[in-house]
Amino acid sequence: MAVILVIEDEINVAAMIRVCVESEGHICHVAHNGNEGLDKFCKVQPDIIILDLMLPGINGLDICAHIRQFIKSKQKDPYIMMLTGKVEESDRIIGFSTGADDYMPKPFSPVELAVRLRVLLRRELRQQANSEGMIETRHLLIDQERRIVHFKYTNHTTEIVKLTTLEFNLLVVLAKRPGRVWSRSQLLDTVWGIDYEGDFRIVDSYIKRLRQKLYRTDPTGEKLDKTQFICTAPGIGYSFTD
C-alpha cells in the first residue's frame, strides 16, 4: 500500500484517478490547485505524486522543480508522474528535466494508469532490495543503506550532495562498476526498470543533473570538471570514473 497524492484541477479526472488508486489498495489524497498540492505534499509525505501540468496558481513544472530542489532531508523523495494534454516532444523533455519520473498524456485509461503505478512501486521495491553498504571513491562516499552521498574534499571536510531517488539510483549503478560503459537502454532497464516505456533521452537529462550536482571547487583550488565523475562514450553511453 502506497500513499499517492493527486494534484489535478479537473474534478472528473481527479475523481477517476482516485477510484483507480484506491481500487489498487492505496491511500489517495487529492488537491485541485498548485498551492494546495504543495501544502498536502508537506503534510502527507506521498510515495507517488500524480501531477497535472496545467494548474491554476502554481503550474505542474514549477511544483515538480520546487519539490526536487527544496525537499528536506526528513521528507520522502516521491516519484512524480506528470499528466498533460500537451503531446509535443519538447514538453516531455521539459517535464523530465524538472524532475518528473514518468509522463502520461491525456486522455488516458484507468488500466494504463494502474499499470504505470505498479511499475513505479516495483521499481522502489527493487531498489530497496538492492541496497547494500558503502561505495567509496576518491571524492565520493555513497551510503546505500541511508541513501546519502557525501562529497569528500582534500582538506578532509565533507558535504552532503542532495539527490533525488532516481539520481541516487543512477549514481549507484554507475559507481558500482567504475569504467564500465553503460548504454542508455541498459541504464533504463536497470534504473527505471524493464517496464519503462518512456523516452530513452530521460537518461541524458538525469546525467546532466547529476553532473551539475556533483560539480565542486576544492578548497585547495582544484576545480573539478563537470564530467569528472560521469564520462560520455560517444555513440554508446556513459561510465563512471573518479
pLDDT digits (tens, 9 = 90+) for 82-104: 888 766 666 667 667 777 888 88
Residue type, 197: E
Q: What pLDDT, in 10s, does the model give residues 48-73?
A: 999 998 898 888 888 988 887 766 54
Q: Which secondary-structure segment (H or E) carries 14?
A: helix 11-23
Taking the C-alpha atoms of residue 69 and residue 37, their distance in angstroms, rounded to an integer, is 16
Q: What is the pTM of this model?
A: 0.57
> How many C-beta neighbours within 10 Å does residue 128 have?
9
Degrees, nearest 5: CA angle 56-8-195: 135
Least Cα distance to 102 among 87, 85, 81 occurs for 81
Whether residue 167 has pLDDT greater than 80: yes
Pairing relationship of beta strands 134-136 and 140-143 according to DSSP bridges = antiparallel
